[in-house]
């Protein structure tokens, strides 16, 4: 059985090429839905003009695909709610030196 923790660990391996923080800690992942071997991800990007708009979702998909038992992965980009720096996790803020 595929778990949310496995999905999160896979997602944490994906980084925005311009920011030294993984997409999970950046707060870009809005929803993870697991139905058997199918995984649905709803995520955003830091901006609609993000130069890595194709690469990041592909990297998320590729990383999740390495989990045994996963057969179908759908990564959907959503713009609501709009991403904001306040969505960055405490760990991400430490890396970015936004928090002590």
Q: 80-90: per-residue pLDDT in tens? A: 999 999 999 99
Query: How far apart, in whole angstroms, are the C-alpha atoms of residue 82 and residue 79?
Result: 5
Please state the rounded mean pLDDT for residues 58-68: 97
Q: How far apart are the first and last CA of the chain?
A: 38
Is 99 a residue whose pLDDT tops 90? no
E strands, the chain, are 29-35, 38-43, 72-77
What is the reported pLDDT for 16?
A: 87
Q: Say which range, 17-21, 39-43, 71-75, has the weakest mean pLDDT.
A: 17-21
Is 91 a residue whose pLDDT tops 90? yes
- Nearest Cα neighbor of 96 from 8, 5, 14, 25 is 25
Is 56 a residue whose pLDDT tops 90? yes
Write the class of the CATH domain 4-85.
alpha beta
What is the reported pLDDT for 100?
A: 61
């Amino acid at each position: 059985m595929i778990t949310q923790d496995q999905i999160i660990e896979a997602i944490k391996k994906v980084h925005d090429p311009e920011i030294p923080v993984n997409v999970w800690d950046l707060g870009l992942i809005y929803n993870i839905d697991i139905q058997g071997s199918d995984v649905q991800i709803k995520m955003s990007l830091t901006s609609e003009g993000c130069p890595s708009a194709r690469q990041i979702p592909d990297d998320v998909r590729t990383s999740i695909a390495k989990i045994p038992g996963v057969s179908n992965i759908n990564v959907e980009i959503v713009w609501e709610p709009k991403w904001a720096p306040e969505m960055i996790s405490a760990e991400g803020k430490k890396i970015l030196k936004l928090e002590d």
